[in-house]
Amino acid sequence: MPATRRRYAVLGAGPMGLMTAIELLKAGHEVDLYERDDRIGGMSASFDFDGLRIERYYHFVCRTDEALFDLLDEMGIADKLKWTDTAMGLYCDGRLYPWGTPGALLRFDKLGWIDKLRYVLLVLKTKGTRDWRALDRLEATAWLKKWLGMRCYEVLWEPLFRLKFHQHMDRLSAAWLGTRIRRIALSRRNPLQETLGFIEGGSETLLERMREAILSRGGRIHLQAGIERVDTQAGRVNSIRVRGEDIPVDGVVTTAPIPYLPQLVPDLPADFVARIRAIENIPVVCVVLKLSQQLTGNFWLNICDPSIEIPGVVEYSNLNPGSGPAIVYAPFYMPKDHPRYARDNAAFIEEVIGYLGKLNPAFTRDWVLATHCHRYEYAQTVCPPGFYAMLPPMQTPIAGLCVADTAYHYPEDRSICESVKVAKALARAALA
Ligand SMILES: Cc1cc2nc3c(=O)[nH]c(=O)nc-3n(C[C@H](O)[C@H](O)[C@H](O)COP(=O)(O)OP(=O)(O)OC[C@H]3O[C@@H](n4cnc5c(N)ncnc54)[C@H](O)[C@@H]3O)c2cc1C
């Protein structure tokens, strides 16, 4: 038990908020966890999809996700982590190619052998990189063009960047991109076989264990209880407002997307607010389909084809065979002010269904058993060159107020594993 037992409010019950709450409880403090949604999980939350519990967004695990393995161990569910030998595909210029193996690259007829050699060298370089600071200041597309050449960049990467980052596509950090390539490149059983993991029962299995760990340590979880405001007195956190009620607290740790912060904490100094406002995010509109038949044999299918306006589809059932006949996720990323974002969910669902006959000519509409579409506004942080220096410190200028969100995964991309790692650092900052 600490000398002074503090009362903490943790904001957000995604993996980061849950983990932060567990760490603060372990240190002997009182913790209330507030979540705006009607369920825990944030981006990892599940829903009932026509009788199947499944995540709103697909989730896979890589062999490098050490912090996640430790957490599964700590929660007593290490045996729930399963591995599948997965296949990757590439839909390019009206044709579906196998992808992700040396043989597939050799047979790919859109690139010359020098392009292919350059591609292999890039993957080998990223696999061997440990310290990403040197790449933090480099711009990703320029870095890719230098390593791969224009032809390879235009065939394989340009459509992905354009469809995911739009006007931001030429202002991304090479460190962020490099860690993404490395994470997937290292998730292999051998050089020929990609191996990805999933949690039996989905991320919900882990989230529920984390919920139990919080409750068993005396923590409280409040759902549909968004924090409306954080008030301060003499430069330190004083109280939070939830459902119109002011609740006194000694510390607040927020794990919600940081763009919410300026409105939540009106007393934040202007220079700190300016740093937050400089960080941009891209929303996702993610279509999920349940099909009666397998669409392709791939888990991940990259799409580099002008007739399809999504960067790829994920056939989750090819990773987790327990998830039904065929579950396909199709994510659209676009800024909120993009004209297509204003369309309703049904329009996105129809668009995806319209593409499926290209990916598998045997597809017919009666394969579609159920559809769903979900949006998350702050789904993907745009990490420009120099992002290390842009990130505001976790300890804000207000005593007792600490912040982080998925931007703090940098240089890694967002993942449950990184949320767990950042949560531990966040809890240390809050306890200091
Ligand atoms: C399309 C997609 C695919 C992904 N694929 C993978 C994958 O394959 N593998 C992987 O590991 N990860 C993946 N991720 C990322 C993973 O889901 C996230 O890294 C993780 O869920 C982030 O958790 P978090 O707790 O850090 O943040 P969040 O999930 O953003 O949680 C923040 C929480 O704060 C809550 N909140 C906001 N405002 C308030 C308020 N005022 N008061 C109270 N609560 C509030 C929100 O409702 C939310 O629940 C994917 C994400 C997306 C969108």
Which has the closest alpha carbon to 29: 211, 251, 247, 193? 251
The whole-number pLDDT of residue 87 equals: 95
Q: Is 197 in the pocket of ligand 1 (CB under 6 A)?
A: no
The whole-number pLDDT of residue 323 equals: 77
Q: Is 415 in the pocket of ligand 1 (CB under 6 A)?
A: yes
Question: Atom 42 (ligand 1): residue with closest C-alpha?
Answer: 226
Rounded mean pLDDT for each run of 10 residues along the chain, 432 residues in total: 91 98 98 98 96 95 97 98 96 95 93 94 91 94 95 94 95 95 91 93 97 98 98 97 97 97 97 97 98 96 96 96 89 95 97 98 97 97 97 97 98 97 98 96
Backbone angles phi, psi at 374, to 5 degrees: -135, 145
**Half-sphere exposure for 350 (CA within 13 Å, toward CB):** 5
CB atoms within 10 A of CB 336: 11
Q: Is 57 in the pocket of ligand 1 (CB under 6 A)?
A: yes
Which atom of ligand 1 sits closest to the CA of residue 15? 25
pTM score, two decimals? 0.96
The answer to whether the CB of 395 falls within 8 A of the CB of 428 is: no
The whole-number pLDDT of residue 370 equals: 97
The rounded Å distance from CA 27 to ligand 1 centre is 25
The rounded Å distance from CA 119 to ligand 1 centre is 32
CB atoms within 10 A of CB 167: 12
Q: Is 300 in the pocket of ligand 1 (CB under 6 A)?
A: no
The whole-number pLDDT of residue 165 equals: 95
The answer to whether the CB of 11 falls within 8 A of the CB of 241 is: no
Which has the closest alpha carbon to 64: 412, 426, 320, 423? 412
Give the CA diameter of the chain.
68
The whole-number pLDDT of residue 194 equals: 93
Give the C-alpha separation, 214 to 197, whole Å.
Answer: 26
Q: Is 226 in the pocket of ligand 1 (CB under 6 A)?
A: yes
The rounded Å distance from CA 152 to ligand 1 centre is 33
CB atoms within 10 A of CB 136: 21
Q: Is 324 in the pocket of ligand 1 (CB under 6 A)?
A: no
Q: Is 383 in the pocket of ligand 1 (CB under 6 A)?
A: no
- Own/partner pairs, 70-77, CB within 8 angstroms, 24+ separation: 71/19, 71/206, 71/420, 72/199, 72/206, 75/206, 75/209, 75/210, 75/213, 76/209, 77/199, 77/205, 77/206, 77/209
To test the ligand 1 pocket, which listed residue (16, 44, 323, 372) has its Cβ within 8 A of the most ligand atoms? 44
Q: Is 253 in the pocket of ligand 1 (CB under 6 A)?
A: no
To test the ligand 1 pocket, which listed residue (63, 184, 414) has its Cβ within 8 A of the most ligand atoms? 414
Give the C-alpha separation, 363 to 96, whole Å.
Answer: 14
Domains in the chain, CATH or no CATH each = 7-59+202-279+386-431 (3.50.50.60), 84-199+281-381 (3.90.660.10)
Q: Is 332 in the pocket of ligand 1 (CB under 6 A)?
A: no
The rounded Å distance from CA 17 to ligand 1 centre is 10
